[in-house]
Structure 1
């Protein structure tokens, strides 16, 4: 039986990006190591200059942490399994988020539509 993650599994929100120091809800500054390419889900730094993806916004969480928490892919409280996310999940360039393998659309609760 799989248990659902709880709020205690999540790390507290960080008010500013640890690299470019923008606040929650603000676009990362060009050259930020934390920002993601919203077309691929991978690190934006060094991605193709021809990519016309929108700017990534700082949410207060490390990229992919929310999906790891949602999928139950945690190594321990506050420790998302980002390696599993990057090797197992699929990036949805329309929703700008990772999805479980085989899921094309999810609700906010993570249940398949």
Structure 2
């Protein structure tokens, strides 16, 4: 294991995926429970075969842990509040990460919201 470089609340980086055992930076193996659909942010296992999302790579952290650290949503050292992330944040398919709803990439949204210019 490698320690996370910047945050005392972070869990140590795992050198390999706990399910499919690929190394950091490698794509998860088909059928891996940890891999995410990069179109939805949800578990890739069992997602629609018609989904043309790119493959997910192992980062050394559980999916969503980095976002919990950034948002300060930790239950304690090494315990990201993934439930809060899933119920409060929104998946940004362009950035392939969870964001607060007001932080999403807005390039594809209309220039007005409820009649008011952005």
List per-residue Cα deviations over 1:43-81 (Å, max 9, x = no partner): 000000000000000000000000000000000000000
Give the ranges of 4+ consecutive aligned residues of structure 1 lying more than 2 Å apart after TM superposition: none
Superposition RMSD in Å: 0.9
Partner in structure 2 of residue 55 of structure 1: 55
What's the counterpart of residue 14 of structure 2? Answer: 14
Instruction: State the partner residue of 2:77.
Output: 77
What corresponds to 2:31 in structure 1? 31
- Give the whole-Å Cα distance in 1 for the aligned partners of 2:81 and 2:101: 15
SS of equivalent residue, structure 1 residue 52: coil
Partner residue in 1 for 2:110 = none
| Residue matched to 1:40 | 40
Structure number with greater Rg is 2
Work out the CA distance in 2 between the residues paired with 1:56 and 1:62.
Answer: 12
Long gaps (5+) in structure 2:
1-5, 106-118
- Corresponding residue for 2:67? 67
How far does residue 101 in structure 1 lie from its aligned partner after superposition?
A: 2.5
How many residues are matched?
100
Select the structure with the greater relative contact order (CA < 8 A; seq sep ≥ 6).
1
TM value normalised by structure 1: 0.86
